[in-house]
Amino acid sequence: MNEPVLIWELLKSVLMGIVEGITEWLPISSTGHLILLEQLVQFELSDEFLTMFRVVIQLGAILAVVLLYFDRLWPFTADPARRYCKPGAFSLWGKILVGSLPAAVLGLLLDDWLDAHLYNYWVVAAMLILYGVFFLLIEQKPRRPRINKLSQLSYQDALIIGFWQVLAMVPGTSRSGATIVGALLLGASRPLAAQFTFFLAVPVMFGASGLKLVKFFAAGGSLTGLEIGVLVTGMAVAFVVSLLTIGFLMNYVKKHNFKLFGWYRIALGTLVLMVAVLQKLIYRA
């Protein structure tokens, strides 16, 4: 592959990383945005690699969460007075793992079926609009949250939010969107709902990325130098953009509700639907 083509492929990866870093954390569906983006940006790479790339690029976004919340997530300390451990962090990890169980079990069972049957414009558009309506309805009346701190979140609450996260396996739902809706319905404050969503993403997205990599290599896949460059570039850009996006979202939800994201999802879902109809008309012509 000549140098201009190589540079162009890496630039596409940068664009994908930017979109991933923004849409992974805002409740607006990374899948919906990537579907539209892929109409404009088409890689000169194999379908097998791109299927893996769309998921593994999330590792960059996850590392941003680990860096930003390392002190809260790391359960050990050098303080002998605390017996070298932080009970609050162990309790948090317990809730994260309980909340991750539904997605871990059903993800292994349904991953291939979902890719084959639900990754299409119609499903994505429907889920974008549906959860956009959910946000508008939830924020329609004043809320008095009962859960304002992670310590107030029970294991049962974590499990229920975990089942909401399972819904994000349907393309267009948005993992953060589904878990935030679930947390809000349980009575969590907006900042708490967003933060627990970040934490739930760590094991789930590491697991999903690992599963895609195993399937890719088990099917005989191998990475060229270009593909390694595209993957690493996309992950690095997603990492940097995620740092900024997470900071923005946490500041935003302290003062605002989620209505803006609800209206945005409805608009995006309508756009995805229009693209689907247009493609069908072009195909028939």
Top-confidence residue, 119 or 57: 57
Q: Quick one: pLDDT band at residue 224, thresholds 50, 70, 90?
A: confident
Rounded to an integer, the average pLDDT of 132-157 is 91
Top-confidence residue, 63 or 8: 63
What is the overall mean pLDDT for the chain? 88
- Predicted confidence at residue 282, as pLDDT, reads 80
- 36/166 Cα distance (integer angstroms): 24
Convert the pLDDT of each residue in 84-123 to its tens digit: 678 788 899 999 999 999 988 887 777 777 777 777 788 8
Q: Is the pLDDT of residue 234 over 90?
A: yes
pTM of the model: 0.86
